[in-house]
Amino acid sequence: MSFTEKLQQRRKIQEDTAKVFEDYGKKKQIFKTGKSRLLREDCEKQLRELNNVGSEPPTEVCEVELPAEEHTTPTRDLAAAHPAPSPPGPELRVRKQWVLSENVKFRQDRKSPEVLNKAKEISVRFGLPKDVCLRLGLLFQFRDTKRGEDMLTVYLTALQRLKQGFDCAKLAKRSLKVKKKFLKIDPKTRTLYIKGLGPVFRKTTALDLRAVQDVYAGTSESPEFQEVNRRIKTLGHRLEENRCCVVKTEVRTYSLILNSACDTDDLFATVDLLKGNHGPAVWREDNRAAENVFRVEGAMDMSL
């Protein structure tokens, strides 16, 4: 065999090998982008895991919603062509709203002697950071009014509950398994602890609240919650919005399922108190929105 023939033979082998790998790559790509089919067994298993969270299941009944690729029968095709209007989602306030029944004026600001003295007193008693003591000191000036007492009670009660901690659940990032956790906040170090409750492997996640961008209510900010809803909606259930929240950091998100709506409110109140992103208008240093006792960011979407 001449040298030219050997080159042609080698070139042909290389071309055939390239075709094989090219076809394999195409098949792999088609497999990745293909439609995923939900198995009823997986959906039922997911719903059973969710129903074991807390004293009451964190799900509610809704209309059955099947993925588009599972509409195979003529009846289902007809239903897909003329879908029934989906029920409106449950209304949810991202932050607590204070209904104004009287015109409360902010008598003191964060530089007034009364607020500074109260902040020092709180710092000595509880050992909290200076800015947190100032926020509580600003609320103490309303203690002689019913509204001020309510505001102060909300934040102090929430802070005390999160210091003690309570049970919750977390969705695993990839497997979507429901894992039991214990949620706790150390206000002195501003650290949010998500502790594992497993019998063997008990992983603890410690989040510095300075790295936490915000805590969002509901399921809209979590791909894990959305995927779980997609599964259990095939069985006529969905997650309760006021039992779910998403802790978002600069790196990732944590999808938490709390035992009650009260736990969700207390988590929000404590994070707001320690970070100061949301809260009463009196917390603002520029004294804007002083007509509202409890201020919410104007750009925040209040409906989910």
Q: Quick one: pLDDT band at residue 239, thresholds 50, 70, 90?
A: very high
Tell me what the mean pLDDT of segment 21-42 comes to. Answer: 56
Tell me what the mean pLDDT of segment 37-59 comes to. Answer: 86
- pLDDT score recorded for residue 185: 97
> Looking at the predicted structure, is the pLDDT value of residue 183 above 70?
yes
> Looking at the predicted structure, is the pLDDT value of residue 165 above 70?
yes
For the stretch 134-156, pLDDT in tens is 999 888 877 777 767 778 888 98
Tell me what the mean pLDDT of segment 287-301 comes to. Answer: 40
**Minimum mean pLDDT range among 137-141, 163-167, 205-209, 236-240:** 137-141
- pLDDT score recorded for residue 254: 96
Q: Quick one: pLDDT band at residue 188, thresholds 50, 70, 90?
A: very high
- pLDDT score recorded for residue 237: 94
Pick from 53, 36, 55: nearest CA to 231: 36
Q: Quick one: pLDDT band at residue 16, thresholds 50, 70, 90?
A: confident
Domain covering 165-270 in this structure, CATH number: 2.30.29.30
For the stretch 270-284, pLDDT in tens is 999 999 888 777 787
Q: Quick one: pLDDT band at residue 23, thresholds 50, 70, 90?
A: low
Tell me what the mean pLDDT of segment 31-44 comes to. Answer: 64
Tell me what the mean pLDDT of segment 200-213 comes to. Answer: 88
For the stretch 122-134, pLDDT in tens is 899 888 999 999 9
> Looking at the predicted structure, is the pLDDT value of residue 86 above 60?
no
Pick from 66, 279, 282, 250: nearest CA to 158: 279
- Residue 191 sits at φ, ψ, to 5 deg, of -125, 130
Tell me what the mean pLDDT of segment 239-247 comes to. Answer: 93
Q: Where are the domains of the chain?
A: 165-270
